[in-house]
């Protein structure tokens, strides 16, 4: 990029050319006019030489110095020009054209790729002029050049926004979603990654369902029984397909049995069975998933995993999505939820069990610390550790009180979480005998049982574990303490035999519930009736997943064509039929993460309540 190609004469420059002929001093005036003539003819070397002899002139000094700098720019001697413009700032600080000097100093800094200096100089320019100049330079940079600029200026929001824009301008499959997410989060950018996808609508859509049906014949019923969840998922999809026809949306399902094997899946692909697919649901297992992912990426076909929260396949394929939130998204949303619920005490304990749990726990830690919380403990738990933690939290000691309380006062104190005042007869420490006063009455002492770990010294606990025993130990610990420690765990705790729903509701345990659906809704009641009538059974969770996925995808296909991601690129929430809905934006996993508690023994999504409150607050603002 050359100076000649970029220099545009701003309004100030035209002003100088038109109105700087001042009739003072015939010799200086003649030399100045000749220098301007040479500049206008493009003879910049001769012009600069003439201007150089006038830089100290009392009448023409400011203008001669300025055009000396412009001549140097035209000669591509950017550093010489910069030095002259800085000399003007220090030598003629009261000159009324300092804004013009700042403009060309900004220009010179951009030319030298000294971005931090360019933005500093640009701060003194009028807004419109500043934005015009920035756009001229950053808008012309390639993706590679912006990558270098961002590497040197990682906190510059303007460079970050142009960098994000350049990424989005790439073909969809080449867009770096991880980097784009980083930029969007860091600079609060509204980015839409799917604008490069074409709008291709059809009268009906072919959805290939590549799942491990594992069905050869009814001669092996044990295989069918073991894999019933896949058939249940597909039954839900079939019912949704029929319901979509009532909305004049035709989604044709084509099932293919991957048998959990990559070689079988490869034969399906090689046979051309997926060539006409508008969208692919599945596969579930690593080998088949890798093969289908390669096919989908190569042929630009969207694929959706209906059951997994492992985002490994999405990291190498821009066309791959998860219907569920990934493990890391669940952790982030849980931490965001906690930061708005447990606001009175910002001390946190985080526990985890398995390697996968550790990734979730680490993401929770990073997010909650960003919200200003202090993580007191971050530990891996086994059964022995959990028992020790329970002991540490429930260990108590006696604290004697000099004041003698009435029964009414003691009952009032007992209403305070974690406090119980008791009385007993005072005994001789040596003999153990009851001590009596002069009138023969027993001497009563008042004491309080205190926890070694003081009440409310911890705000909440996040426990990433699917262990029945570990969860039970933590829940029992909270019940014994009777203070206000919050607890967030996995939704499968609801299935554990060692805890009751009454106990979980009483303690207000919070559950990370990515697969939550409302059994009390009218939509669920209607679907249940349809299932009983057509299938002969009440719908289970896998029926629900299949139904919800197909209803969502079918409506998106109808509205946005073969690329449903065109419909979710803005990051708005798409309300669900039975489940809570979808939200993707620049992400490739569902960002809707229900967090539930029990109310009247029914699960209630507390995250939905928070969204409503936040929307109301924003509306008020």
Please tell me the distance from the alpha carbon of residue 320 to that of residue 309, in angstroms, as a whole number: 13
Spatial distance between the Cα atoms of 488 and 178, rounded to a whole number of angstroms: 28
pTM value > 0.85: no
Q: Is the N-terminal amide bond of 331 cis, ω within 30° of 0? A: no
All structural domains of the chain: 3-140 (1.25.40.10), 199-324+517-583 (3.40.50.2300), 327-393+456-512 (3.40.50.2300), 396-451 (no CATH)
At 621 the pLDDT is 40
Residues belonging to the chain:
621
Residue pair 280/210 in contact by the 8 Å Cβ criterion: yes
- Quick one: which of 460, 468, 222 has its CA closest to 345? 460
Residue segments in the chain with a per-residue pLDDT below the cut of 70: 1-26, 192-196, 216-226, 390, 393-400, 402-407, 409-411, 413-420, 447-456, 482, 609-621
Tokens for 367, please give them.
């997010």
What is the predicted pLDDT for the residue at 195?
A: 60
CB 475 within 8 A of CB 365: no
Are 586 and 191 a contacting pair, CB within 8 Å? yes
The DSSP letter of residue 455 is T
First to last CA, the chain: 47
Do 348 and 459 contact (CB within 8 A), yes or no? yes
Residue 215 burial (10 A CB sphere; 0-12, 13-18, 19+): middle
Check the CA dihedral 423-427-432-436 and report its sign: negative
Sign, CA torsion 131/136/137/139: positive
Beta bridge partners of 598: 603
Q: Which pLDDT score is estimated for 23? A: 40
């Amino acid at each position: 990029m050359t100076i000649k190609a970029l220099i545009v004469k701003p309004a100030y420059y035209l002003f100088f050319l038109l109105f700087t002929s001042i009739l003072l001093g015939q010799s200086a005036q003649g030399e100045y006019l000749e220098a301007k003539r040479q500049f206008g003819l493009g003879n910049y070397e001769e012009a600069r030489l003439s201007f150089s002899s006038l830089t100290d002139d009392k009448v023409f000094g400011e203008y001669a110095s300025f055009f000396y700098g412009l001549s140097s720019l035209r000669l591509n001697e950017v550093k010489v020009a910069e030095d002259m413009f800085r000399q003007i700032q220090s030598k003629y600080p009261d000159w009324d054209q300092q804004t013009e000097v700042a403009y060309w100093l900004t220009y010179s800094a951009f030319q030298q790729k000294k971005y931090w200096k360019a933005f500093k100089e640009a701060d003194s320019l009028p807004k419109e002029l500043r934005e015009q100049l920035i756009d001229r330079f950053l808008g012309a940079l390639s993706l590679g050049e912006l990558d270098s600029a961002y590497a040197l200026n990682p906190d510059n929001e303007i460079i970050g926004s142009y960098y994000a824009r350049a990424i989005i301008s790439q073909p969809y499959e080449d867009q770096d979603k991880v980097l784009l997410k980083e930029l969007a989060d860091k600079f609060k950018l509204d980015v839409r990654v799917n604008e490069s996808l074409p709008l291709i609508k059809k009268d009906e859509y072919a959805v290939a369902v590549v799942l491990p049906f594992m069905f050869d014949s009814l001669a092996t019923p044990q295989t069918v029984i073991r894999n019933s969840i896949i058939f249940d998922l597909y039954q839900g999809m079939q019912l949704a397909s029929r319901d979509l026809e009532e909305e004049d949306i035709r989604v044709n399902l084509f099932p293919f049995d991957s048998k959990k094997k990559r070689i079988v899946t490869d034969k399906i692909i090689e046979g051309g069975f997926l060539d006409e697919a508008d969208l692919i649901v599945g596969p579930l297992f690593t080998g088949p998933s890798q093969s289908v992912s390669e096919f989908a990426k190569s042929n630009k076909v969207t694929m959706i995993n209906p059951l997994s929260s492992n985002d490994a396949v999405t990291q190498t394929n821009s066309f791959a999505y998860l219907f569920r939130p990934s493990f890391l998204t669940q952790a982030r949303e849980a931490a965001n939820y906690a930061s708005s619920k447990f606001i009175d005490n910002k001390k946190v304990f985080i526990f985890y069990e398995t390697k996968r749990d550790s990734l979730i726990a680490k993401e929770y830690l990073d997010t909650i610390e960003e919200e200003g919380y202090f993580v007191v403990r971050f530990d891996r738990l086994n059964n022995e550790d959990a028992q020790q933690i329970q002991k540490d939290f429930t260990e108590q000691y006696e604290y004697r009180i000099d004041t003698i309380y009435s029964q009414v006062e003691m009952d009032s104190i007992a209403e305070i979480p974690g406090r119980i005042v008791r009385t007993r007869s005072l005994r001789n420490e040596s003999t153990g005998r009851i001590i009596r006063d002069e009138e023969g009455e027993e001497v009563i002492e008042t004491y309080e049982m205190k926890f070694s770990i003081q009440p409310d010294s911890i705000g909440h606990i996040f426990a990433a574990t699917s262990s029945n025993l570990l969860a039970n130990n933590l829940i029992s610990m909270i019940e014994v303490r009777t203070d206000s420690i919050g607890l967030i765990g996995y939704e499968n705790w609801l299935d554990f035999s060692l805890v009751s729903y009454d106990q979980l509701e009483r303690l207000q345990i919070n559950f990370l519930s990515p697969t939550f659906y409302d059994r009390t809704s009218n939509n669920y009641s209607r679907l249940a009736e349809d299932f009983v009538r057509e299938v002969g059974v009440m719908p289970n969770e896998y029926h629900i997943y299949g139904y919800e996925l197909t209803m969502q995808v079918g409506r998106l296909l109808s509205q946005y064509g073969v690329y449903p991601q065109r419909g979710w690129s803005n990051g708005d929430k798409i309300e669900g039929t039975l489940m809570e809905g979808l939200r993707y934006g620049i992400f490739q996993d569902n960002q809707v993460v229900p967090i539930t508690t029990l109310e009247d023994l029914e699960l209630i999504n507390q995250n939905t309540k928070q969204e409503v409150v936040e929307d109301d607050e924003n509306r008020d603002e």
